[in-house]
Structure 1
Amino acid sequence: MAVRRSRITPLRAAQVYEAVLGLLREVGYEALTMEAVAARTRAGKATLYRQWGSKPRLVVAALNHREPLRIAEVDTGSLHGDLYEIVDRVGDEALSRGPVLHLGVGSAILGNPELRRSLRESMLEPAMADVARVLRRAVRRGEVPGDCPALGLVPGMLCSVILARPLLGEEPLTVAEMRRHLDALVFPALGLRPALTGP
């Protein structure tokens, strides 16, 4: 059955999203409740359910709220430039903040199929599909062979680097470090050299 939407303004929705992200950082997904979001935003719990339907959908919407980058729109004329530009547009703040918020729902993903499906369908799959389109464009340009075995692995590799960082080190992930991953791992896997040393 379709969820009936209330007339909530974009500003009010943004306030709800900020409250959800704050609670995720403070208490994690399991302890986050619709009651807590309602109290923090002075909204009715029924309004939250009418607008978003469930806690998993609200959390995913809040996580998506700060991810405006459209990867497929980036077209610099070369794969080197495209991937560098994508990383630069994401920026240091999002690279360091995003994984921490995602870890707030990490353990819940295993036991909550709705949350897992919502995160995968609304965040991971679109981002990976966009990167795949960037790679296919590089194939059409003749930069990467169409039968390169790494083509299907690079989108997941880039997402994994970002999401796993909080587990692998104390320092936040930065644009400079993501560029090093591109130079040391992604470009060689695709048969390319780092841009500074030539194609």
Structure 2
Amino acid sequence: MTTARRSKITPEREQEFFDAVLDELREQGYEALTMEGVAARASCGKSTLYRQWQTKPRLVAAALRSARRDRSLVAVDTGSLAGDLREAARITAGTSGRDTRLTQALGHAVLDDEELQGALREALVEPELAALGAMVDRAVERGEIPADHPAVEFLAAQLLGVLRISPLLHGRHADADYLVRFVDACVLPALGPTPAP
């Protein structure tokens, strides 16, 4: 595999390319995204993109990885699991439209391309999993829930799943009010006392 050369592109310019890729993805979807479209949006020649990343999948994967930053969920610590999850719901609502559009834009391509799948997980999924895991760990330390509570395994699936399905069910992205009500009505009751076997 050829090593990409990046010496002539500043980090700021590289980020402009990545932002253009992500915007094109959200608007056009993966299949319709082209190097020409990204180049036009980023005001560069497509030869620049090919020289640095060689292929569309590599460019998209690099852009996805660039989107990974310390997410604001990491700083959430209200002193209780209920408070943490409600605050996480409010924060997540602020990015749900952009993140959900990005996930949906990758569609089947992310299932067929391991590099894209890994980049998407790194950019959007793993930071949230780590933050939720930290919330649960603190709750266990405080004695709010047992470490082996069976609902903990499904916490991320509940929260991330409702974000993805909301546009389909309701025709709009989940807002803060909806997500907090979901936490109160569905997530917190599931994390109540461990049910008897």
Please say if 1:147 is aligned against 2:115. no
- Report if aligned partners of 1:4, 1:51 keep a CA contact under 8 Å in 2: yes
Residues 1:58 and 1:148: Cα distance change in structure 2 (over 3 Å): same
Structure 2 residue runs of 5 or longer lacking an equivalent are: none
Partner in structure 2 of residue 197 of structure 1: none
Partner in structure 1 of residue 169 of structure 2: 168
Partner in structure 2 of residue 80 of structure 1: 82
Partner in structure 2 of residue 30 of structure 1: 31
Secondary structure of the equivalent of 1:80? Answer: helix
1:37-87: CA deviation from partner (whole Å, max 9, x where unpaired): 123212244543565565335434545638652423211111122122222
Give the residue type in structure 2 aligned to 1:48: L
Secondary structure of the equivalent of 1:6? Answer: coil
Partner in structure 2 of residue 48 of structure 1: 49
Partner in structure 2 of residue 90 of structure 1: 92
Give the residue type in structure 1 aligned to 2:120: L
Length-normalised TM-score, structure 2 = 0.81
- Measured in 1, the distance between the counterparts of 2:18 and 2:102 equals 12
| C-alpha displacement of 1:141 | 0.7
Q: Which moved more, 1:128-137 or 1:94-103?
A: 94-103
- Measured in 1, the distance between the counterparts of 2:123 and 2:85 equals 21
Give the residue type in structure 1 aligned to 2:31: E
- Measured in 2, the distance between the counterparts of 1:66 and 1:146 equals 29
1:67-122: CA deviation from partner (whole Å, max 9, x where unpaired): 65242321111112212222223344x22232122211112122222212221233
- Report if aligned partners of 1:99, 1:163 keep a CA contact under 8 Å in 2: yes
- Report if aligned partners of 2:67, 2:123 keep a CA contact under 8 Å in 1: no
Give the residue type in structure 2 aligned to 1:77: G
- Report if aligned partners of 1:100, 1:166 keep a CA contact under 8 Å in 2: no
Residues 1:146 and 1:68: Cα distance change in structure 2 (over 3 Å): closer
Partner in structure 2 of residue 6 of structure 1: 7
| C-alpha displacement of 1:169 | 2.2
- Measured in 2, the distance between the counterparts of 1:27 and 1:67 equals 24
Q: Which moved more, 1:61-70 or 1:9-18?
A: 61-70
Partner in structure 1 of residue 123 of structure 2: 122
| C-alpha displacement of 1:134 | 1.1
RMSD: 2.6
- Measured in 1, the distance between the counterparts of 2:8 and 2:150 equals 48
Equivalenced residues, count:
191
- Measured in 1, the distance between the counterparts of 2:88 and 2:117 equals 25
Partner in structure 2 of residue 196 of structure 1: none
Report sequence identity in percent. 47
